[in-house]
Amino acid sequence: MAAVFAGWYGHDSLSGECVGGLGSTHWNDGPNTGGVRYVPEKGYYGSSDPEVVSWQLDQMEKAGISVLLYSWWGWGDGDLDGVVEGHPDQFINRSLTEMLNQIRDSGREMKVALIVEPFTVTQAGLSGELTSRESRMVLGYVWENYYAKYQGQMFEWQGKPLVVSFDPMSLKNDGRYTLMKWTGRAFDEVVKKDWDWSFAPPQSLSISKDGVVFFYPRFDEFYLVEDGATYITGEPRRIDPYLNEGFYDRQWEDLLRLCRNVTMIVLYSWNIYGEQAHIEPSNGGSAPVGVEFLDKTRTYYDEFKGCLSNAL
């Protein structure tokens, strides 16, 4: 079981210092990084705070999560011209390094793979379709700084370290990695031709050709729109916003029925608060996610593994 993980929270947008609090990066610091209505159990944390990272690893292991698909937004060179322009997304690298160091030094079994987000689009207004040179630049950076340096902590898929690119970011083939393309669009016949994995609420569970299924506890864009997000152009999607419709349980029940065909289940997400799609323990708001979601996730996952054993 993998979980999508965000390490972008709580940095000062100029210095990169780990400050935490509302108004630091991704804690309602702008229209497109708003929507946060719940308070994490650790408060509005900074993602490179060693104490927070240790606590998160403990909680994720309790839930049965063993792989993190880490949302990564480059290193500050948004237009890939060789110059670091200083976009605050670069500070995610500090959080990622802290996470990988702790996993390595503590001997934890957790593994990490990067989701390369479309940072050339959001930071420089360029296309997500990279040239061969640009793709080599990105994949070379993550190899030098993460995949080669932390080989024992990086997750492998189909025999090689996994790198995921999220729509519209598109990377060229590279023999060092297994490259998988992930889209947020519905997994219809057109999309299937171009993308390996799909996650598009409120579609029902769809198994990719390699047996990967994305699922989620809830999904709610209402507060992002309320805070002025410009990238949501349609009606905001609201799926079990108050956690009173049993949606998460039904997703797990569907997964149990599909178990013999599934190779990896991916939880969206551990801690993406703007879309309310988190199971990291929180409070406040109208429907906080308490620690009982960790227990529920672990119970269902253990049942899922039992289903797999019976299928064999």
Beta bridge partners of 72: 116
| Tokens linked to 32 | 């497109």
Residue 255 phi, psi (nearest 5): -60, -40
Task: List, for residues 65-79, the tens digit of each pLDDT value.
Answer: 999 999 999 999 999
pLDDT for res 312: 67
Task: List, for residues 189-243, the tens digit of each pLDDT value.
Answer: 657 678 999 988 887 788 899 999 999 999 999 999 999 999 999 999 999 999 9
Q: How far apart are CA 17 and CA 95, in angstroms?
A: 11
pLDDT for res 299: 98
Cβ neighbors of 262 (< 8 A, separation 6 or more) are 207, 211, 212, 213, 255
pLDDT for res 235: 93
Q: Which residues form the domain of 138?
A: 2-311
For the full predicted model, state whether its pTM sits above 0.85: yes
3-state secondary structure of 197: strand
Instruction: Supply angle C-alpha 183, 253, 238, rounded to 5.
Output: 50
Report the number of distinct structural domains present in the chain: 1
**Domain containing residue 59: CATH number:** 3.20.20.80
Residues 218 and 275: beta-carbon distance below 8 Å: no
Amino acid at 236: P
- Residues of the chain with pLDDT below 70 are 189-190, 192, 312
Q: How far apart are CA 169 and CA 173, in angstroms?
A: 13
Residues 215 and 268: beta-carbon distance below 8 Å: yes
Q: How far apart are CA 205 and CA 195, in angstroms?
A: 16
pLDDT for res 202: 82
Please give the full DSSP string across 23-80, using - where no structure is assigned. TSTTSS-SGGG----SEETT-S--TT-HHHHHHHHHHHHHHT--EEEEEE--SS-TT-
pLDDT for res 190: 59
Q: How many helices (H) and strands (E) does the chain have?
A: 8, 13
92-106 vs 50-63: helix crossing angle, rounded to 10: 60
CA distances in angstroms from 47 to 11, 60, 83, listed in the order given = 8, 15, 25
pLDDT for res 290: 92
